[in-house]
Structure formats: C-alpha cells, structure tokens
Chains A and B, each alone.
Chain A
Amino acid sequence: MPDRQLPGTLPIRTNPVHIRRASNVLPWWRQRMPMLLLDLLVGIALFAMSFSINLGHIETTGFHPDETRWLNRAYYIEDLTDPYGSTWQDYYLTRGQPPLGSYVIGLGQWVQGKSMHPNLVWDFYYGGSSNWNTIAGAMPSHENLMAGRRTSAFVGGLAVMVAYFISRKLTNIGGGIVTALCIAFHRLNWGIGSQALSDQTLLLTLGLIVLVGFQFMKRPNWPWAITLGVMFGLGGAAKLSPLVLSGVATGMGCILLFRWLLVPVPLSQRLKDRSTGIKLVVQPFIAFATFVLVYPYLWVEPLRRSWYLYDFRIREMASQGATFEGTKVNGIVDTFSRITSQIGTSRQISYQLMEWMNEHLGTNFSMIKGLDLAIGSVAILFVVMLALKSGLRSPHFFTIVLLGAEAGIIIYGLRSDFYRYYLPLVLIMFICVGVMVGMILEWLVSKSSWAPPKRPIDITRQSGLFIRVARRHRPARIRRHARSGKSRQPTLV
C-alpha cells in the first residue's frame, strides 16, 4: 500500500489497523463472573442472616399500635384494581401516609395467605393501651400480626443486603460486610425489623436510591437516569423525604451544567458534564411522575393532593410532639442531643458487643455513651476524603452527596422524637463506618506482602476489542506467534 502524504506532514500509512469486536473475548458479565458470584453469595448470606435475626425477635418484640395502621391498609394493594373507588378518595387515611409501605404489607399478607382486612383502624385518641380499640376490632389477631412482622423482617433483610452492596461499591467486600453486620445486629434495626411497620421499606428504598445513583454516575445514560428517578419516586411513596433527594440530584446536575462558568473545564469533560447534568436535572419530574403513578389517590389532582400529603405529615409530626409529652424537638441542638440519646446509649452496636463479651468472655466493660457516634464521626472524615479524592463526576461523590443529603433532611426535618425516625441515620452511619474500614483494609493490603503485583492494563481484555494490526505492519515476533497457532488472542503491540 503506497504511503500517502498530506501537504506539509510526514507520510502516513493508510489503513494500518482494523478494529472489530473480538470473537474470543468474553463478555463483561463472564469476565466478572467470579466476582459477581462472590458478591451475590455474600449478599444472600447477609440477607439470610439479617432475616433470621429479625425473625427471631418477632414473637418477643413489644406491640406498637402503629403496626395496626399498616396492617389495616393491607387492602390497598387489592384495591389498585379500582383506582377511582372509595378507597382512593380524599380523607384521613389516604392523606396520612404514602402507600408503598401498605402495598408491601399487603403483598406479604397475600403471599402468606392471610386476610387483607385484618383489623379496623386504631384510634389513637383512646390511647395506646385502651381497651376500646381491642373491643372495636382494631387489634389484629396474633396470626395476622406475626404475618405483618414477617413481611417487615424480610424487607429488613433485603435492606441489609442493599447496604452491603453500597459499601461494596464504595470500597470493597470487607467494607460491605462490616456495614451489613453492623446494621443487621443493631438493636434498632432488628427492633423495627420485627414490627409490622413501613420503616424497613423506607430503608430499602433509600438503599436502592443510593445504589442506583452509584450505577447512574458510573454509566450516565437514560435507562439508569429513568431508573434513578423511579427509585426516588418509590422512596417518596414509602415516606415523603426521598422525594426531596431528587431535588438534591437536580442541584448536582446544575453544578455539573454550569461549573465551566467558574472553573476551566476541557471541552470533552464539558460535554460529559452536560450529558450527565441534564439527566440529573430532570430527576424531580421522573420522581414525581412515579410518585403519582403508584398512588391512585393522586391521579385526580396530583399537585393539590400531594400538597395535602405533605401538609398532613408536617402537622402530624407537630401534633405528635405536642401530644406525647417530651417528644417535641426544639431546634437543631435538641435534635443532636436526641440523636445521642436514641442511638448513642443502649442502642449502640459497640454496647451490644460489650454486652456479648461480658456475657460470654467474662469481661467487664461498661457502656461508653456515644461511642458509635464518635466512630461514625471519624468515618465521615474518611467518606469526605473519598468523595474529594474521587472527583465531582464520580459515582462515589454522588453517592456520598445523596447519603449526606438524606441525613441532613432527617436532622433538619425532625419535629418529634420517635425511635423509628433514626433508622435511616443508622444506615448512613454504618455505611460510613464500612467505607472507613474498607479504606483502611485497602491501605493495609497495599502495604502488605498480599498486595497483588501491578500489571499493565490489558486493553483487549478491558475493552473487549480485538485490535488487529495489518499483516505487513506486524512485528516478526507476532507473525511467528500467530503462525504457530498457539494463541487465538493476538496482542496489541
């Protein structure tokens, strides 16, 4: 082939390389199969462990009247077939809570073959221990209560598995396992996981939002963007706060869209920023559309009734603070002191560990108040470091922003002090702890003799490309190698 020469340039050879998909390169899922299998096995094992821990407590955990409310609404999933029926009219119950928790409980009842109308509505005006509610039929039977609790335990197990995957994505298997173990054994987690409530559903949707957010930033395409928006919407359908997170995603998108105005960004990066930013900016719309679609109550008047829901939640939290003595939260300082008292005293994984050691190993440790929170605070530093190191458009940064935003929403929006409201904080705290442990493990391994030798990146393996160099341009070594028929996998030179 003759050399061609552009005017004023060195001669170039035309057509020296052909790139095509290599037929003998394994697809990505087969390349990563061992790791995927390992992850899956560990995840399933952690799910099974958490599920069994939750199940072990369903008989002994005390009854809470809120459980009756969720069980009462189990019929919601049945009435989805009649989206304009009386179930979805505007009244106390439809305004009271978004529906996903009720759907989950209803699905659990259906799978276990239990009644979809297990009890009437518990009337809190007559107190938590009133005889009237029992007489009036608001108390579910033992069987139905246990069925609801089993559903919650199952969802709790799934939430722990998702937490493992989040930390695993952010760091490594070690970090993931630490996160999952801490959450699974945490007293607050199994306490709520063994009650027929919707908080484990919230935890699961939060975890899925973060996990999908990670995947989206890794591959910022429309399918993942839509999935992320849908997850925001489902989170909002569990409890309203994750809907606000979609606003955080929009903020992040705006930063990506306009950061070139403040800092110099190369054109190629700017194009990527623009593509990712647009997909983040539209998140609230996708989230709201999903939120409306999963709740037939909103179909007729989406905006007004969504406002009713939000307004009801705000007023109910305020009235809870006013009705139940000592639960009203006054300001941000009070919020932090409540957090310390709720998840910094007896509901600490460190305290549980000490208790276990005192019981089984004969040690004599006493509780250190706020030890979990102190470790969590140190872990936050590690997490911030990881975010800054990874860069603005990295999956790690976005994931950590989402976690931080959720924590901020809970802390800022806390109006009454109920133990359940702290469960997402436990999730976030132990993800941070898991990340910290994972980073330390990585550092230790890199310094030890176990560290794998550094190899050059095999581009043919990584990209799945077969790069064939034109015959006459191949070095003699490769030609010989190819002729010998020893390798079907030519190497890039």
Chain B
Amino acid sequence: MVLAQSHRSSSRIRTILNVALLLSLALAILTHTTTTSAQDPSTSNQDGTPAPIINTVPPKSGNFKVTDSPGILTEEQYKRFDFDIWRMWEDGLPAAIFIRYSNDANQASQDFADALRDQWDIESSPGADDGLVMVVTIRERFPQTAILSLSYGENAFPQGQMTIPVLNDILEREVLPRIRTGNVNDGLTYAVRRILYYAEYTAPFPAPLTRGQETLHSLALPVSLIAGLLLLALVALPTRFLPHPGKNQWLMFAGAGFLVVFAFMLAAAGRNAAASGVALIDLVLALVLFASTTWRNNRRFPPKRIRITRRAVRGRVHPYRSRRMRSA
C-alpha cells in the first residue's frame, strides 16, 4: 500500500521487488515447515493434528527444581516436592520436575525432557551426566490425561538397589497408572519417593573384586584351613600331652593366634565368605583352647606333698631315696 502511494515512475519496480520479497518470505516459511515435519514425523500427534512448535526449552530461572507452569499443584504439594527434590540433590542425585501444558506426544515429551536436562545442566558437576528430569506433559485438549517423561544421565542409576529395570517396574506399577488418569500429584509422589527410598535406604551393590582381591579370594580358604590345622597341631596336642605347659606353650598360642588373625584378615581382604567363616571358627577354637588351658592351670592343684628338706640335701639326693637308703 505504501509502495502504491509512492512516485509513479519507480512504483512499478518497487512493486515488483515487494512482491518478490513477500513471495520469498512465504516460500521460506513454507519450506521450513515442511522440513521440520519431514525430519521428525513423531512431532505430529497421534490424532493426526500437527504438533505446535513449543519444544523450545525455557530459560533456567528461579526455583528451577520444581516448575509448575500450569499451576496444578497446591502450595503444600509444591513445597513437598521442592523438599523431596532437595533431598535427591543431597543424596547425590540432581533432579528437577517440570510440569507443563502441551499437546506433545510421548516422543516429543521425551525429547523435551532430554533437552531440558541438557540445557539446564541438571548434573552434580559438569560432565557427570548423573541428572534426572521428570517432565509431566498435560494435554491441553484433555487435561485429565498426562504423560510422564523421564530423562536421566548414564550415571544416574543405580541408586542403592534402584536399577533401570526396577525403576521401570515401579513406573509401570505405581506411577504411570496414576499419571495417565491425571492424578499428577500422586503419581509424581510415588515416583519421587520410591527413588528417594532406594537411594537412601537400600544398600549399594558390592563393587567387583579387583585383580589383587581375586588372588586373595582364592588364597583365603586354604590359608584358613591350614591355620585351623596348625592351631590344632600347635595348641591342642601339646595341651593334651604336656601336663605342665610352660613358656613354649604361650609362644605356640601367640603364633597360632597370629596365624588365625592373619587368615581372617586375608579372608576379609579377599571378601571370601567361606574362608571368613572358617577363620572365625578357628578363632573361637583358639580362644576356647586358650581359656580352657589357663583355666586348668589356674585350677591345678598345688604339689601333692610339701617336703621340707635341707638346702644342702636338695638336688643331690632325692629325699625319698635318701630316706630309703637311710632306713635300709
């Protein structure tokens, strides 16, 4: 219109240029739209309607850990989730909840969750890749239904004994049925608290044995058995056959005790349960033998006879023999 009101001489050229510009703009828009649809066919909804272009991740701001843009959570619920997510961060699992209105299908929602985790840097340190993002997508057309999309880094799981299969099982059994029926609060509560429970109150899996530990593991049982046999040989037999144990026996006890403790330490270092059990039995055996020997020594009756002899006589001739000799 502006061009039409300009000078008559140059108006034709300008009109042509403007038309060309408008046509090129229209063509560009049309080309862009068809390219997007071609690149990602999943962006169209299941009912055939084209997906709106709202997959742009909003900038990270404010309390990014719980974002409820539709405002479906009450204040109390919001605080509860905020607290739970804080606990997750404390447990070493950086997490965020994002609730939004969208007509995105499953894959689009999943892409959004991935993009959100990536662009908001939900991880404990740069490159840790241990974050978890839960995106709840509520359909604009059907607000009573929702989609939960979880995006987690490679190092996010296992948490305690929560592995990916366990997580999927919990999602299938407890979370998704609630989310699908629009009960976002309950579904998210189950998801967040089950993950928290596993992260805090279940034991981590034992680390695999190192090469050195494997060697110790294989050595531990024979050493424990040998220690037990030596214990019996060193302690039990002299205890049985030596009526008056002396200093040597204490040395034997010390040696056997050391050996048993060494066997137990070896078993513990090699994480060998059977060897630890044998070493424990050895230890108890050693203690019982030690206690019984000292007990017997303590309760041993003093010498049966008190002989009073002259110092000069003692050691030279046995008093009994001397008496016999004299009487003879």
Contacts and interface: CB of A to CB of B under 8 A. Distances in A.
Contacts of B252: none
A12 B313 CA distance: 14
B268 A299 contact: yes
Contacts of A184: none
Interface stretch (A91-99, A344-352, A372-380): A91-99
B200 A92 contact: yes
B273 A83 contact: yes
B273 A81 contact: yes
B17 to A, nearest CB: 69
B13 interface: no
Contacts of A331: none
A125 B87 contact: yes
A418 interface: no
A2 B87 CA distance: 96
B319 interface: yes
Interface stretch (B96-104, B122-130, B241-249, B297-305): B297-305
Contact of B309 (A14, A88, A94): A14
A12 B308 contact: yes
A219 B83 CA distance: 59
B276 interface: yes
A223 B295 contact: yes
Interface in B232-269: 268-269
Interface stretch (A17-25, A105-113, A153-161, A317-325): A17-25
Given A86-B203, A86-B204, A299-B268, A293 B273 contact: no
A275 to B, nearest CB: 11
Given A83-B273, A86-B203, A293-B283, A15 B294 contact: no
B266 to A, nearest CB: 12
A136 B193 contact: yes
Nearest to B160: A91
B268 A300 contact: yes
B298 A221 contact: yes
A120 interface: yes
B203 A293 contact: no
| Residue picked from B206, B269, B305, most chain A C-beta under 10 Å | B206
A116 to B, nearest CB: 16
Most buried by A among B203, B204, B280: B203
A19 B305 contact: yes
A93 B291 CA distance: 36
Nearest to B269: A300
A6 B193 CA distance: 94
A20 B301 CA distance: 9
Contacts of B180: none
A221 B305 CA distance: 25
Contact of B294 (A84, A89, A222, A293): A222
Interface in A210-240: 219, 221-223, 226
A287 interface: no
Given A6-B310, A92-B200, A86 B161 contact: yes
Contacts of A83: 273, 276
Given A17-B306, A19-B302, A222 B290 contact: yes
A322 to B, nearest CB: 16
A150 B276 CA distance: 33
B307 interface: yes
A5 to B, nearest CB: 9
Interface residues of B, number: 44
Interface in B44-89: 83, 87
A82 B204 CA distance: 15
A17 B294 CA distance: 29
B197 A121 contact: yes
Interface string B296-328: 001001101111111100000001000100100
Nearest to A223: B291
B260 to A, nearest CB: 11
Contact of B273 (A84, A87, A132): A84
Tier of interface size on chain A: 35 or more
Contacts of A16: 308
Nearest to B268: A299
Interface in A250-309: 293, 299-300
Contacts of B269: 300
A27 to B, nearest CB: 11
Interface string A73-87: 000000001111111
Contacts of A223: 291-292, 294-295
Contacts of B203: 86-89, 91, 93-94
A316 interface: no
A20 B197 contact: no
A83 B83 CA distance: 36
A4 B310 contact: yes
B23 interface: no
A67 interface: no
Interface string A1-39: 110101000001011111111000000000000000000
A66 interface: no
A89 B292 CA distance: 37
A385 to B, nearest CB: 32
B287 interface: yes
Contacts of A123: 193, 196-197, 200-201
Given A84-B271, A125-B87, A293-B283, A226 B201 contact: no
Contacts of B298: 219, 221
Contact of A84 (B201, B204, B206, B304): B206
A21 B295 contact: no
Contacts of A121: 197, 201
30 contacts: A2-B326, A6-B311, A14-B319, A18-B306, A19-B302, A20-B304, A20-B305, A81-B273, A83-B276, A84-B276, A85-B206, A86-B204, A87-B203, A89-B204, A89-B205, A89-B206, A91-B160, A91-B201, A121-B197, A121-B201, A123-B200, A123-B201, A132-B189, A132-B193, A136-B197, A222-B290, A222-B294, A226-B291, A299-B268, A300-B268
Listed from nearest, the 10 A-B pairs whose CB atoms lie closest are: A223-B291, A84-B271, A121-B201, A222-B294, A86-B203, A299-B268, A89-B203, A221-B298, A223-B295, A89-B204
Given A90-B204, A91-B201, A136-B197, 12 more contacts: A6-B310, A19-B302, A19-B306, A82-B273, A84-B206, A87-B203, A91-B204, A125-B87, A132-B189, A221-B295, A222-B291, A226-B287
